[in-house]
Structure 1
Amino acid sequence: MTVYQLPVQVATYRHWLTELVRRVPSGGGWYGVFAERDPDGLRACFDGTEILPWDIVESLLQDAGEPGGGPLALRGRALYAAATGAHDRRPGGAEALAERRELMERERRYAASRVRALSDRLGATPAPGPDDTARLEHDLAWTRDDHARATARVTDLTTRLARLGGDPPAAPPAPATSPPAATPGRSSVPPAPPSDPPARATRAGRRPRGARYAWLDDVAEDQGPAPAPASVPALPALPTGGATPRGARFGGAQPAETAVRGGAGGAAPAGTDSAEAARAAANAVYALQRLRAQGRSGEAHALLCEALGGPLSRLPALAEELRRAGLAADWSVLLWEAASLPPARLAAVAGVLADADRAADCEQLLRQGVARPAEELAGACAALRAEGHHGEARALLTAFVRVRAPEDAARLAAEDPRELVPQLVEAARAVSASREGDLLHALRVAGLAGA
């Protein structure tokens, strides 16, 4: 019997990947989506029997708040190249790469056609109703993600194949078939957790469809016994299926009249006291549990998101009630949704959390919010300062300069140079001397050094 020994390059990459996932905050993010939708495929990558595609790794780096050009990512990129090289040189590797590239090219074309179809339906006359619009925007966000991932993998697989001498490098897929650009601020965070289209539902003995999950060979090769399974970090349990989510990420906060169903976000008289907030939170959690017990997870997610449309003073009580009920993952999902609220509302949520001594939650929210366009972040900073939350404004800028490129920081500074230039320089200095130097160079190039 042939014994399969894991190549040292693959083992090293697997170890790096495990260390990366340990940095990911528990309870959500892209890791939660992948872990829920295809746990077997993800586990195979941690076992070392497969190589986790780099576009997935980039999403995990975002989960962990690590910059794509930072030292951790650069080391991971080098380890990925070495691991794929060793993995691809196994018997039949070139043929497997060619087959997978063909699969990804089909996936890319399918996603491009779906984006065009969904975009046409959204722009149709007469316009679709509110519920249909939310569902179409939800499907469009996922389909754009599929297209971007499939495009990246076609390029990556072509490069790997050329490295084996099996095929000359090909040009990237024709722009004529590419979908419209993703909405700014949405591409770097997951629409957590969307309902799966029927073609992508996970079924026994059948793999989910879509570029997010197509990382394994369709036919396992006879390599002898697999290496001992790696210790995979706990897989977060996120709500799935059911109705289309209607949270901030897909259409903004809900109107007050739709938010009253679960009691978490309904309209309330001014001066709502802590006892009433606690009762509303208890009612909301009870409704969530009932919906989940009935298999109506999509409606449960929509109900959860409605908390962002009501009195924000109730959010700390809801967070505590979710924790007591063992639903801390739902609170993380809610923070993901809050990160896409309009700037003033985002700042208001951060302020409420800070005032309630939930500093960790506030920091997580601000860290997730830095993927937004620069002009929106400038508005959020201004709103935080206007409410006296100067510490939170500094935290938002520090998170921004930590994970975004210096050129992005210069674009942010241009929104309000007199206020933002000194604050961004101070934030960069708090990160590192090299980050401060990079920012100062970007500000000089942008003509903002003397602001």
Structure 2
Amino acid sequence: MAVETSPARIREFTDYLHGLLARLDPSEGWCAVFRHRDPDGVRAWLDGREVPPRDVVEALLQDLRTARGPGVAASETPKARGLHAAALVAHDARPGAREDLADRLDVMLRERKYAAERYTRLSEALARATGRAEADALGVDLAWARDDHDRAAARCAELRDRAAALDRRARRTAPSAQVPVPDMAPVPDAVPGSGAAPGREAVRRDVPAPADRPAPAPERRTRRRRGSARFAGVTDEAAAPVVVPPAVTSPESSPSPGEGPASFPAAAPATRVPRGARFAGAVDGAEEERAGPGPGAPGEPWAAGESVGAAERREVARCVGALARLRRDGRSGEAHALLAEAASWPAARLPLLADAMRGAGLDADWTTLLWEAASLPADRLVAAADALTAAGRTGDAERLLRQGVVRPAEETGRAVLALAAEDRHREVRTLLDAHVRTRTPEEAARSAAPGPERLVPLLLAAARDVSQERYRDLLHALRVAGFTT
């Protein structure tokens, strides 16, 4: 009975998807975009070989709203979401699903990074554009890069949700009360307790291996690159259609930096706190009370009479050694989880990590770690950039800030207001300088929405410090957006 249930749920969703697409114009909206950008992916969804990501279902429902009206879309939405959720659970119940999710997350993180870098390049090119035709073409490319980034970020969050759900189900069905220690990375080496983010629970080192160890995981399959609409919605730049993405953002499609579901590493005790820069500040009060001591508290190595520098160098060396082993063994998903963890370490460790990772030939991973750190809350983002600048890594600091302000413009505005309320004026200037340099004038103007009276003068002051031309462009964009200057 259980064997038949999973395929039946997938078939039920596949049948529904066929019916939904039959009600849409294949040459319009997101339906046309998905068919154009990844026809193989669409066929895989319709054949039941894959289940589309959540944002695809939401986009198709938006197409239905446009084609058939709000009432029809509203009545279909609960059924579509319910069938899709059931199909995902059934798909993830298959053997090897956990490994498959780790592989997909690895791809998604890289796609998200690529989209953010492309967005930054295009923003800079648009700021230098001299003609209307060039600006229009870059504007189209910029819209696609923004959609690609938001879609990839949403899919990273969805994959972590699915992995966390798998872990919860595994704990509920475990034969004993003790959760087995998985055969994955050597956690004490990869994520040492003293290397955890401030206020996070340390991983125990003295947990004995259970006598009845779980069966070894299936042999790792040869990985094929997953991309395009099935997983990231990101293709090579030349493959993007020359149309502006339909204006749709589903409620679930664009999680803000600093927010997200449970973390992706292997199953852990139920009291484990989400880690990594993406989850900074996302711990509720009860979890914070259970979390371990912060830096300098009893139990931390540098509180036991050792110098902070020596303790930090040891933790950095352990982290980089574990990362090198994971890369050597091809365990990319775990490597990314470790990078996310390291990105939330104290800012002073970033220059040490840069030296150690580049010395170990992990330059690409250092780039990924910077991207993860770009999701830190604004105050910690500025602190990280300051630490890199103080260590002579100005280029890395500038890159970190550029990536950090790729977050939604309104979120940057709220972060600036919070810093200003605490009289942290230097951090405000640093963040806004990167913001007005990197974002288009129209995007920078949108960041004034959370508090125009306070933010408009700050934005204009930052733009004036960049150049008179940037000041005039932003002034015009603010007026067009309806803000009084």
TM-score by length of 1: 0.47
